[in-house]
């Protein structure tokens, strides 16, 4: 059959979609990018906050139209929305033929083929043997190293949706990464809800540091980068930082969602910490890993956040000087513990606080980018810019895919660029979030600039 996929939400959810597509292709089905041609449509949903739920519902309703007017005969809904609203989906959207939650990924073939699904349930965790069809461009890929979460942050429902934290075996991760590198992938992005907890449930101490060291030593015909996302601040050990500093293949990049800087707000979030403690950690990170880029995310408008709390957050952001930061307005989720907290902040105040914090970060990002003008740094060439045919696009090791700025290439010295090359870039101009530069001659190593194979992009939407 011809099967179309819509994958919504985070990179962890995208990996689930890639595994499901891989299972279907292994069975002999064809993944198509035109919903009008699909005989079966699958929507892998996100439900972290209400805007994500609404986006998922809208995608389901849009695909349901193809079932009524197109060639689609079956409509399958998977993912986190099913965990939250399984009964409501069945009741309110009769066009849906089957629903699969996050532990039922292995049932995707039966669901698409209309066969009876196995009623048994067990926490799902894929391994290197799972077939996988990449939906990312061929030069980078996400690798999920763990599933679930054991933290009890009061604003978060991930443990309700994904279950307890469970790590993949190190050998499984290493085998999958080696396979991806052999396929031409040049950047491996490790993801988990809390990557710094990796291995604790397996009895490993500093499991992430040991895993990164193994991945950085893999034999490969060409250069590659390894980065990890979502580090919990009190799990960032000196051992982890030393591993980052010792291995050039580990990207000098640390994504550490702090959520706030006021100790009072962090207590209500059930996270702990505070501005002074975080600044000491940031200083240690930068001292250990020269040239590291730090990214964080913050929530404004959390219940009880006073003007004084918000001012403390603003002052912290000025002092921390993150290269990258995201700011989110608090979303009041009815199943999250924070839903029951008093002193809710009104939406207008949340809107203005978010704008002010982002304005501070914009100035910091611009100053950082300007400090790079004139330097020559390795860039991973990603292909023609989606903004204009006259530019190519790449990323530094300090820019993660899809969430940070990019490098726009407006001049090329030497051979024409190719997607997947790692070549020097001379930075000539800086914008608030993006950089502009000249691509220089590739390294003398004849394997160093070998491009990756052209990717297949089978998802209907992201």
Rounded Cα distance between 266 and 255, Å, is 18
> Of the ranges 216-220, 299-303, 345-349, which one carries the lowest mean pLDDT score?
216-220
Beta-sheet pairing, 407-412 with 392-396: antiparallel
Structure tokens at 50: 């209400």
Rounded Cα distance between 24 and 110, Å, is 10
Considering the chain, what percentage of its residues have pLDDT values greater than 90? 90
Structure tokens at 455: 């990717």
Which CATH number describes the domain made up of 2-124?
Answer: 3.40.50.12160
Task: Give 431 or 455, the one with higher predicted confidence.
Answer: 431
pLDDT for 351: 98
pLDDT digits (tens, 9 = 90+) for 430-451: 999 999 999 999 876 444 444 3
pLDDT for 134: 96
- DSSP string computed for 267-321: HHTT----HHHHHHHHHHHHHHSTT-EEEEEEEES-TT--HHHHHHHHHHHHHH-
Residue 388 has pLDDT above 90, yes or no: no
Quick one: average pLDDT of 49-53? Answer: 93
Residue 119 has pLDDT above 90, yes or no: no
pLDDT for 459: 52
DSSP character at residue 202:
G
Rounded Cα distance between 189 and 227, Å, is 5
Mean pLDDT of the chain: 94
Fold assignment, 140-371: pyruvate-formate lyase- activating enzyme (3.80.30)
pLDDT digits (tens, 9 = 90+) for 83-109: 999 999 999 999 999 999 999 999 999
Rounded Cα distance between 55 and 53, Å, is 5
Quick one: average pLDDT of 253-281? Answer: 97
pTM, full prediction: 0.94
The answer to whether residues 98 and 60 touch, using CB atoms and an 8 Å cutoff, is no
Rounded Cα distance between 63 and 45, Å, is 13
Residue 120 has pLDDT above 90, yes or no: no
Quick one: average pLDDT of 304-330? Answer: 98
Structure tokens at 311: 């001012």
Residue 426 has pLDDT above 60, yes or no: yes
* Pick from 67, 74, 71: nearest CA to 37: 71
Quick one: average pLDDT of 237-262? Answer: 98
Quick one: average pLDDT of 224-248? Answer: 97
Quick one: average pLDDT of 282-303? Answer: 98
pLDDT bin (cut points 50, 70, 90) of residue 461 is very low
- At the fourth CATH level, which superfamily is domain 376-439? Nucleic acid-binding proteins (2.40.50.140)
* Pick from 379, 382, 415: nearest CA to 397: 379
Hey, where are the domains in the chain?
A: 2-124, 140-371, 376-439
pLDDT digits (tens, 9 = 90+) for 138-192: 999 999 999 999 999 999 999 999 999 999 999 999 999 999 999 999 999 999 9
Quick one: average pLDDT of 416-436? Answer: 96
pLDDT bin (cut points 50, 70, 90) of residue 270 is very high
* Pick from 241, 251, 229, 224: nearest CA to 295: 229
């Amino acid at each position: 059959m011809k099967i179309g996929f819509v994958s919504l939400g985070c990179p962890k959810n995208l990996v689930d979609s890639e595994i499901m597509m891989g299972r279907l292709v292994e069975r002999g089905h064809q993944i198509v990018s035109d919903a009008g041609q699909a005989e079966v449509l699958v929507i892998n949903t996100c439900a972290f906050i209400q805007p994500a739920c609404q986006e998922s519902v809208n995608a389901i309703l849009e695909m349901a139209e193809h079932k009524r007017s197109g060639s689609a005969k079956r409509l399958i809904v998977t993912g986190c929305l099913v965990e939250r609203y399984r009964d409501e989906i069945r009741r309110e959207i009769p066009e849906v033929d089957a629903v699969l939650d996050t532990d039922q990924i292995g049932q995707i073939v039966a669901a698409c083929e209309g066969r009876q699904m196995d009623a048994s349930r067990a926490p799902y965790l894929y391994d290197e043997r799972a077939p996988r069809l990449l939906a990312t461009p061929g030069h980078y890929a996400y690798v999920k190293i763990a599933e679930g979460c054991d933290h009890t942050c009061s604003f978060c429902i991930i443990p309700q949706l994904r279950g307890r934290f469970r790590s993949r075996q190190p050998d499984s991760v290493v085998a999958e990464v080696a396979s991806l590198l052999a396929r031409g992938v040049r950047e491996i992005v490790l993801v988990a809800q809390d990557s710094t907890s990796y291995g604790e449930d397996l009895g490993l101490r500093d499991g992430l540091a040991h895993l990164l060291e193994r991945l950085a030593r893999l034999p490969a015909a060409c250069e590659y980068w390894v980065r990890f996302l979502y580090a919990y601040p009190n799990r960032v050990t000196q051992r982890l930082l030393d591993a980052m500093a010792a291995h050039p293949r580990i990207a000098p990049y640390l994504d550490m969602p702090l959520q706030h800087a006021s100790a009072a707000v962090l207590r209500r979030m059930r996270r702990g910490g505070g501005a002074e403690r975080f600044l000491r950690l940031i200083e240690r990170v930068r001292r250990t890993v020269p040239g590291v880029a730090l990214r964080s995310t913050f929530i404004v408008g959390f219940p009880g956040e006073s003007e004084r709390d918000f001012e403390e957050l603003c002052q912290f952001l000025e002092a921390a000087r993150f290269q990258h930061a995201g700011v989110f307005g608090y979303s009041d989720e009815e199943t999250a513990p924070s839903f029951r907290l008093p002193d809710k902040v009104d939406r207008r105040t949340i809107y203005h606080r978010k704008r002010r914090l982002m304005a501070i970060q914009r100035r910091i990002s611009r100053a950082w980018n300007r400090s790079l003008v004139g330097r020559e740094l390795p860039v991973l060439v990603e292909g023609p810019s989606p903004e204009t045919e006259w530019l190519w696009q790449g990323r530094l090791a300090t820019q993660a895919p899809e969430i940070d700025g990019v490098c726009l290439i407006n001049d090329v010295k030497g051979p024409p660029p190719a997607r997947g090359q790692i070549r020097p870039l001379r930075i000539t101009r800086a914008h608030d979030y993006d950089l502009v530069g000249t691509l220089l001659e590739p390294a003398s190593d004849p394997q160093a600039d070998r491009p990756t194979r052209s990717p297949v992009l089978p998802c209907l939407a992201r």
